[in-house]
Structure 1
């Protein structure tokens, strides 16, 4: 006797709408809580709008088109991305305005963008910080008979990309002007590489220099737009950038664009700490962002007293900026689900597929229990998943959210 076993591929963390986290879902799974997610999208949009700026959230955080659509529907001006491939993915899912906060380098990547520029409704801007890149872009897009929008990236010594001085910015602007296939549409910076005890004053000085350069370039007629773009802001210092832009009237003379990305999911680690600092600086903000992202996993083994091995590892959750944070424990299969606080437990190490967790006194676990974990640095948690599960207050799946990394 012979038979054929028809087995469909099952993606990690996938589940149908209507499934319940503690009863129906193969774990581990990436979980997004609807109430917190909606709060965060609304909160940041209101903050940026009240600051007189526009929001172009950094999509590389999640690369989740369902989140892009929600952010745009809430009023986002566009989506920020980091690469040509990410830009193509976002375009395929309906995004029509992109700030690529990075240099467009290499002919194959240029070709990916050139194909999209055939669409007259696609508004794209990338960064340049060196004459070599300007020359390469100018030649490539001239040969295609196209004009590419570029923005000068202004950086800090010891930081990431970007011209290192105001003089270099002015030289680069002249180089761009020499290429009719390039249009200078603004200036961009990233303050997240400014650290130390004087970070706050350093960021304010950097933002002031950014706007000062924009004014100088505009006065010299360097920009191709009547209202050029001035943009900065990651997910930690967006309040300082918004204040600096507003104080220098950047929103009046320029289009001020802020680019935080991690706010959409927030976290239980580095961005939770950053948000506390924002609220400390801004007494008018009575409520901040809420952690919307968790990773759920089973207790896999209890080999020693006070020690649990969790079916969760480096392939499931970020570990670069802090280890996963135990939140609540749920008995598997029990609905309605009522969780117990297990915050006193602590993850001490993660391997490829396992996490080591100390079990606090008084907490009784059994193999098969489910634990929800908070994360630190959502960017490097999202990119480990092809699907996220949006759940309601009853922990029922209401939407599967594919990623496109």
Structure 2
């Protein structure tokens, strides 16, 4: 069996601990199921067919993506799992992509890529483009396209800004002959942290989704879908969206809650470790699965070490990497025992160099040729630096997964 230090590979190297990966997938699947919500994990995190198949096997409803290109890729995987379903969490505005999606959903063809795809709308123009693109489609084909009105946040990114605007837009979807399935959005812009006040603010935004559901229930055949992100606020989202919705007359509005958490799959040593909503739900703690391994290139002056890893190799948009362990390499490049690092931190990154500050007590402890394992913050912007990742059990490689960016 291959090892991470075999001549086949070189540093920097992205590895995924198999036990942590499986633990995270199973833990979140169980927590969401117990919370009464469905899961459409955001596969933009990894864009890996093999990792998605693990998520699908754990019961995911479908794969969420962010862009039309990612949608084409995911549908090319066969969106493995029940129903071959995908969710584009953005408005589809390019007529070429709409035409492609219509073909992908066409009935009666051997290569139909999916059985159901959901998309957002947040404008009358977006509705017109979808309606034009699906004009004349057979009813069964048109029914495979589900449309959700997107509710945004003032000052945030996409999505209409008020409940009344969302309800009005839903009416336009219905009048255009498109299949309205519900309301969705991303709660991330509501709060930057997890203080009680910030969690309360996220809860208020979830309540707005519920208000929209009340206003559009008569336009939706079946339960109204309520969908949110959930990576940092799954506890709030799950508890608010799974509660029955009642209209002004006190009648219960049938709903389905679907969360799109994606970064949980590998967790991290930074942003998601701090915001972790899963333990707030009473679930076992997730485990960071990602390690980026890089070699020490130079120790040019006291207190400074340079590693062969930079902005092209690791995420840096939220936090800089965290040095975890160092391992000496022998004359054949084989790694020795790991030693935990203390008093070492990354202070800056160039394209492919990392600057490490080393406390005096640690000086001499890091030599050129040593290999350091780094934890990361925000897996989405680490995965996209690579084309493959190694799933590992200790130093053994159990699987090499593709990353289709």
Contact 2:343 2:359 in 1 (8 A): yes
Give the TM-score normalised by the residue count of structure 2.
Answer: 0.89
Task: Confirm or deny that 1:44 pairs with 2:41.
Answer: no
- In structure 2, C-alpha distance between the alignment counterparts of 1:184 and 1:337, rounded to whole Å: 58
Choose the corresponding residue for 1:111, options 99, 114, 123.
99
**Correspondence for 2:386:** 385
Which structure 2 segments of 5+ residues have no match?
107-111, 247-251
**Correspondence for 2:209:** 210
**Correspondence for 2:109:** none
Which structure 1 segments of 5+ residues have no match?
1-17
Matches within 5 A, 1:4-403: 18-24=1-7, 25-95=9-79, 96-118=84-106, 119=112, 121-142=114-135, 147=142, 148-180=145-177, 182-195=178-191, 198-218=197-217, 221-223=218-220, 225-248=221-244, 253-275=254-276, 279=279, 281-282=280-281, 284-285=282-283, 287-333=284-330, 337-363=336-362, 364-393=365-394, 395-403=395-403
Contact 1:85 1:112 in 2 (8 A): no
- In structure 2, C-alpha distance between the alignment counterparts of 1:211 and 1:20, rounded to whole Å: 50
The CA deviation string for residues 338-357 of structure 1, in whole angstroms up to 9 with x for no partner, is 20011421111000010011
The CA deviation string for residues 292-334 of structure 1, in whole angstroms up to 9 with x for no partner, is 0111010011111221110000000011101111000111247
Please give the root-mean-square deviation of Cα atoms over the aligned residues, in Å.
Answer: 1.9
Shift in Å at residue 248 of structure 1? 3.4
Contact 1:84 1:112 in 2 (8 A): no
Aligned residues: 379
Q: Secondary structure at the match of 2:159?
A: coil
Using a 3 Å threshold, how does the CA distance of structure 1 residues 120 and 347 change in structure 2: closer, same or farther? closer
Q: Secondary structure at the match of 2:191?
A: coil
The CA deviation string for residues 197-247 of structure 1, in whole angstroms up to 9 with x for no partner, is 6321111111112112112211xx211x31232111231001100011233
Contact 1:231 1:257 in 2 (8 A): yes
- In structure 2, C-alpha distance between the alignment counterparts of 1:114 and 1:340, rounded to whole Å: 55
Determine which structure has greater relative contact order: mean sequence separation of CA pairs < 8 Å that are 6+ residues apart, divided by chain length: 1
